[in-house]
Amino acid sequence: MKQRRHTHQSNYPLAMVFAWLMVLVLWHTSPVNADDEIQRQLDELRERLDAVQSDTSEMRETLDELRSETEQDWLTVERSHQIRALVQDVLSDAESRNALIGDGLLGGWSNGFFLASSDDRFRLNIGGMIQERYVMSYLRVGLNSGDDRWRGGIENTRTRLHLSGHIFDRDTTFMIQPGFGWLDPNAISNSPLTRIGSRMWDAWLQFRMSDQWAAKLGVFMLPFTRESLVPDTHQLAVDRSLIDYRLGLARSQGINFTWVNNRKRIFFAVTNGSIPLGAIVASGNNPTPPWGASELDTDWALTARGEYLIAGGWNQFKQFTSPVGSEFAMMVGVAAHAQNKERDGQSGLKQDQVGITADLSMHFDGATFFMAGTFHNQSPFNTSRPNADYVGYVFQGSVYATKNTELFMRFEGGGIMQNSLGGDDVHILTGGFNWYLDGQGLKVTSDFGWSFGEIPRRMENYMVGWRGSSNRNAEWLFRTQLQLLF
């Protein structure tokens, strides 16, 4: 084919030369009146050549279009193969990440480490928490003559595992939190139990009976104050207020029913009672539940709490902070508690305890406000005093200075109203900041507190750092904490 094309191209000039020679011969041999005929033929030949050139240009354009379409089709096919290969690689990677650990058992990471069955009937979430804290306390005048003015150091306040998930189906869930921490976070004085050791926090099973009803059985935080219901990991300051550690009910064991809809939430618990006010004899040997069924605790104990969501969503109130970009949310809550103490076998005292609380929570775009008030009555208080009345209040607020830095301030006050038992002379102002390195998962919290009043013996708490003092303006406290949550 190449040789024929070459021969055709080499003969083309000779043919053109021959044609022009014939034209010249005809022109010289023809009469003058034949000039017009020759000119006409030349015009026709020129028109034919123009037509051929035009056809050639159109054919070239058509060939270019066909070539472009062919290349595009080729690219489309190639892209299809590449996408198919990419999808295959992603699926293979997903299979390798969720590799079969057992017979139908999957594992991986989804907002935490987990193990799950392939049919999703069983799931185990594995997490944990570490709180490393530095505390420095200055006490000008203590309750004891030999008290140190300066006391502080580094401590591992809480270290625990979070084991949760569901069994058989998503309607049956559980939580287990073993680890190390203060044996009695609510200890009234510097007893031998105010030390760090192995202990259990929450340990419960929960059954969802319908879209609105659920029942929880085991050890859990009593549904009383909102400070207590917000987890240790999601507090605003380094720790809860001193008032909440004394007047909040802390943990107990029993059964808790929950009813919830879009705007209202109700909790009702039947338990073994609350220990922070020293109303359970069993806590002298085992400061935190679970307690044995035959231990001296309460004859009966009932706790009820109702919450009304004015704006926002329930999830916004799982913490005390409101990051920049959050929507407005507002919630009010009220709660009541009553329990009857079992006889201790020595004094024969049967003590009744009744408490009420109310709170208001507001979340803004990068700011929060919270206030709460609590009242408890113990009757009789002991064999020599007919009753004791506890009162407490907390105000706190926060605002983000930057996207990851939050400033906060808290004022708390209260105590036992009877002066013979110490009086309601607690007045503490605390200010500080949170530095969120990765949300609540990794943050640094520092705060400084100043006591404007006294801290009687029954109000001091070594875990949060406030020691007893009978003088006003006699104590300040500095704390900083690094938290890791996974």
Query: DSSP string spanning 402-423?
Result: SSSEEEEEEEEEEEESSGGGT-
Mark whether 151 and 58 lie in a shared domain: no
Q: Are the C-beta atoms of residues 375 and 397 closer than 8 Å to each other? A: no
Mark whether 185 and 319 lie in a shared domain: yes
Mark whether 79 and 183 lie in a shared domain: no
Mark whether 69 and 180 lie in a shared domain: no
Buried b (16+ CB within 10 A) or exposed e, 136-151: ebebeebbeeeeeeee
Domain that holds residue 45: 2-83
* Site of tokens 């590799």: 99
Which run of H or E residues covers position 206? strand 196-208
20 compared with 61, residue with greater pLDDT: 61
Q: Is 341 part of any domain?
A: yes
Residue 39: predicted pLDDT: 72
Average the pLDDT over 235-244 and give the result.
Answer: 97
Q: How confident is the model at residue 170 (pLDDT cuts 50, 70, 90)?
A: very high
65 dihedral zone (left: phi>0; alpha: psi -120 to 50; beta): alpha
Average the pLDDT over 281-310 and give the result.
Answer: 84
Q: Are the C-beta atoms of residues 331 and 308 closer than 8 Å to each other? A: yes
- Alpha helices for 157-298 (secondary structure H): 226-229, 242-247
Mean pLDDT taken over the chain: 84
* pLDDT surpasses 80 at 411: yes
Mark whether 75 and 151 lie in a shared domain: no
Q: How confident is the model at residue 77 (pLDDT cuts 50, 70, 90)?
A: low
Question: Which residue, 83, 106, 141, sits at the end of a domain?
Answer: 83
Residue 12: predicted pLDDT: 47
Least confident of 72-76, 144-148, 176-180, 276-280: 72-76
Tens digit of each residue's pLDDT (9 = 90 or more) over 455-465: 988 888 888 99
Mark whether 328 and 406 lie in a shared domain: yes
Q: Is 104 part of any domain?
A: no
Q: Is 106 part of any domain?
A: no
Q: Are the C-beta atoms of residues 441 and 449 closer than 8 Å to each other? A: no
462 compared with 145, residue with greater pLDDT: 462
Of the chain, the percentage scoring pLDDT greater than 70 comes to 80
> For residues 223, 229, 232 and 237, what is the CA-based torsion angle, rounded to 10 degrees?
-130
| Residues 335, 358: Cα–Cα separation, whole Å | 6
Highest mean pLDDT: which range of 15-24, 63-72, 115-124, 301-310:
301-310
Question: Which residue, 52, 83, 114, sits at the end of a domain?
Answer: 83
The count of structural domains within the chain is 2
Sequence-distant (6+) residues with CB within 8 A of 17 are: none
Q: How confident is the model at residue 472 (pLDDT cuts 50, 70, 90)?
A: confident
Least confident of 8-17, 235-244, 327-336: 8-17
Q: Are the C-beta atoms of residues 333 and 358 closer than 8 Å to each other? A: yes
* pLDDT surpasses 50 at 98: no
Query: What separation, in Å, do the N-terminal and C-terminal C-alpha atoms of the chain show?
Result: 76
Mark whether 62 and 207 lie in a shared domain: no
Amino acid 30 reads S
Which run of H or E residues covers position 72? helix 35-97
Tens digit of each residue's pLDDT (9 = 90 or more) over 31-57: 445 566 667 777 777 777 677 667 667
Helix (H, G, I), strand (E, B) or coil at 38: helix
Average the pLDDT over 219-243 and give the result.
Answer: 96
| Residues 257, 336: Cα–Cα separation, whole Å | 15
Q: Is 276 part of any domain?
A: yes
Residue 9: predicted pLDDT: 45
Q: Is 97 part of any domain?
A: no
Average the pLDDT over 264-271 and give the result.
Answer: 97
| Residues 415, 412: Cα–Cα separation, whole Å | 10
* pLDDT surpasses 80 at 354: yes
102 dihedral zone (left: phi>0; alpha: psi -120 to 50; beta): beta
Residue 10: predicted pLDDT: 45
Token pair of 8 as six digits: 């055709």
Q: How confident is the model at residue 108 (pLDDT cuts 50, 70, 90)?
A: confident
Average the pLDDT over 444-452 and give the result.
Answer: 97
Residue 262: predicted pLDDT: 92
Q: Is 101 part of any domain?
A: no
Q: Are the C-beta atoms of residues 470 and 428 closer than 8 Å to each other? A: no
Average the pLDDT over 189-203 and give the result.
Answer: 78
Residue 203: predicted pLDDT: 96
Least confident of 35-39, 144-148, 207-211, 227-231: 35-39
* pLDDT surpasses 90 at 125: yes
Question: Which residue, 58, 83, 108, sits at the end of a domain?
Answer: 83
Q: Are the C-beta atoms of residues 370 and 393 closer than 8 Å to each other? A: no
Q: Are the C-beta atoms of residues 456 and 417 closer than 8 Å to each other? A: no
Q: Is 111 part of any domain?
A: no
Of the chain, the percentage scoring pLDDT greater than 90 comes to 55
Q: Are the C-beta atoms of residues 158 and 132 closer than 8 Å to each other? A: no
Mark whether 385 and 456 lie in a shared domain: yes
DSSP 283-303: GGTSSSS---TTSS-EEEEEE
Mark whether 208 and 334 lie in a shared domain: yes
Highest mean pLDDT: which range of 3-17, 134-148, 207-221, 377-391:
207-221
Q: How long a stretch of residues is the chain?
A: 486
Which run of H or E residues covers position 79? helix 35-97
| Residues 245, 458: Cα–Cα separation, whole Å | 11
Average the pLDDT over 231-238 and give the result.
Answer: 96
Token pair of 354 as six digits: 């009744």
* Site of tokens 């625990």: 160
Residue 116: predicted pLDDT: 92
Sequence-distant (6+) residues with CB within 8 A of 120 are: 170
CATH of the domain at 418: 2.40.160.10
Mark whether 265 and 395 lie in a shared domain: yes
Return the number of other C-beta atoms located less than 10 Å from residue 465's C-beta. 21
Mark whether 56 and 140 lie in a shared domain: no
Highest mean pLDDT: which range of 124-133, 273-282, 411-420:
124-133
Q: Is 88 part of any domain?
A: no
Report DSSP state, residue 454: -
Mark whether 62 and 156 lie in a shared domain: no
